[in-house]
């Protein structure tokens, strides 16, 4: 899943970005709303983490403007303004959740995951293919009932393949959704993650390479 972080304080931005990446999210981080606005025009984010006190003004009023256009991505408001009137105003202007500073990273990651799962149009939390099961609420993957230990990036790629199972997912689509704008499309990051994922899933193989196109997850497919 891909997250947009809007936070002007450099140290905190770096900390939150690192925490979300460690949890397996692709993260684009910017320091102010005008830069966020540009990214929102071209990228479909699963969640936005938004500070209120930004150099350009209160992030909530910028958010309210976006909401009036019909934009519906879930937003977690992360701010030091956490008195009751501030929280009420946040929800009134379009925030979906409110986490006051200071906060625990584990809670922020959990709230981001919860918002992304509840967003309109999202697929069910549990995804299956043959004897492979992914539980999005617990971030657990089992094959044949056996719990697998995946890296955050392996989990993200597998989730994407399960969402689009029996359909070819291109390499560029995986990079766009599971990595952020810093990823090099010409690198072998997808191949490295795919090799580890295939090894951990074991046999019979469920992930197949469609040469010249991408990857397909499905039982009983011919491929490599």
pLDDT one-digit tens code per residue, 68-105: 888 888 999 988 887 888 888 889 889 999 999 889 99
Could you tell me what percent of the chain has a pLDDT over 70?
90
- The DSSP symbol for 116 reads H
Q: How confident is the model at residue 111 (pLDDT cuts 50, 70, 90)?
A: very high
Distance from C-alpha of 99 to C-alpha of 103, rounded to nearest angstrom: 7
Distance from C-alpha of 198 to C-alpha of 210, rounded to nearest angstrom: 15
The pLDDT score that the predictor gives to residue 20 is: 92
Q: How confident is the model at residue 11 (pLDDT cuts 50, 70, 90)?
A: very high
The pLDDT score that the predictor gives to residue 75 is: 94
The answer for residues whose C-beta is within 8 angstroms of residue 69's C-beta and 6 or more apart is: none
The pLDDT score that the predictor gives to residue 196 is: 92
| First and final C-alpha spacing in the chain | 26
Mean pLDDT along residues 123-138: 80
Residue 123 has pLDDT above 70, yes or no: no
Mean pLDDT along residues 21-31: 89
Domains of the chain in start order, with CATH, are 2-118 (3.40.50.2300), 126-217 (1.10.10.10)
Q: How confident is the model at residue 125 (pLDDT cuts 50, 70, 90)?
A: low
Dump pLDDT digits (tens) for 199-216: 999 989 999 988 888 899
- The DSSP symbol for 68 reads T
Distance from C-alpha of 56 to C-alpha of 62, rounded to nearest angstrom: 9
The pLDDT score that the predictor gives to residue 175 is: 83
The pLDDT score that the predictor gives to residue 223 is: 46
The pLDDT score that the predictor gives to residue 119 is: 60
- The DSSP symbol for 119 reads S
Residue 33 has pLDDT above 60, yes or no: yes
The pLDDT score that the predictor gives to residue 46 is: 87
Mean pLDDT along residues 122-126: 61
Residue 106 has pLDDT above 90, yes or no: yes
Q: What is the mean pLDDT of the chain?
A: 86
Query: For the chain, what is the radius of gyration of the CA atoms?
Result: 19
Mean pLDDT along residues 130-135: 90
CB 47 within 8 A of CB 115: yes
Q: How confident is the model at residue 222 (pLDDT cuts 50, 70, 90)?
A: very low
Among 20, 75, 87, 80, which Cα is nearest to 50's? 75
The pLDDT score that the predictor gives to residue 122 is: 54
CA 57 to chain CA centroid, nearest Å? 26
Query: Which residues does residue 208 pair with via DSSP β-bridges, in sequence order?
Result: 216
């Amino acid at each position: 899943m891909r997250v947009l972080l809007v936070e002007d304080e450099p140290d905190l931005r770096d900390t939150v970005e690192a925490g979300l990446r460690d949890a397996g999210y692709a993260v684009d981080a910017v320091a102010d709303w005008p830069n966020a606005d540009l990214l929102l025009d071209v990228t479909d984010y699963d969640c936005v983490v938004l500070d209120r006190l930004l150099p350009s003004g209160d992030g909530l009023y910028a958010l309210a403007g976006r909401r009036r256009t019909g934009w519906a991505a879930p937003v977690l408001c992360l701010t030091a303004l956490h008195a009751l009137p501030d929280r009420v105003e946040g929800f009134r202007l379009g925030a979906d959740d409110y986490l006051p500073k200071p906060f625990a990273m584990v809670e922020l990651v959990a709230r981001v995951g919860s918002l992304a799962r509840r967003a309109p149009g999202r697929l069910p939390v549990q995804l299956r293919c043959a004897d492979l099961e992914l539980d999005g609420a617990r971030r657990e993957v089992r094959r044949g009932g056996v719990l697998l230990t995946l890296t955050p990036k392996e989990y993200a790629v597998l989730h994407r393949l399960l969402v689009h199972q029996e359909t070819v997912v291109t390499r560029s689509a995986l990079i766009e959704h599971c990595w952020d704008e810093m990823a090099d499309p010409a690198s072998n990051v997808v191949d490295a993650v795919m090799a580890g994922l295939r090894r951990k899933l074991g046999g019979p193989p469920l992930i197949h390479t469609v040469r010249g196109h991408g990857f397909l997850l499905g039982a009983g497919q011919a491929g490599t």
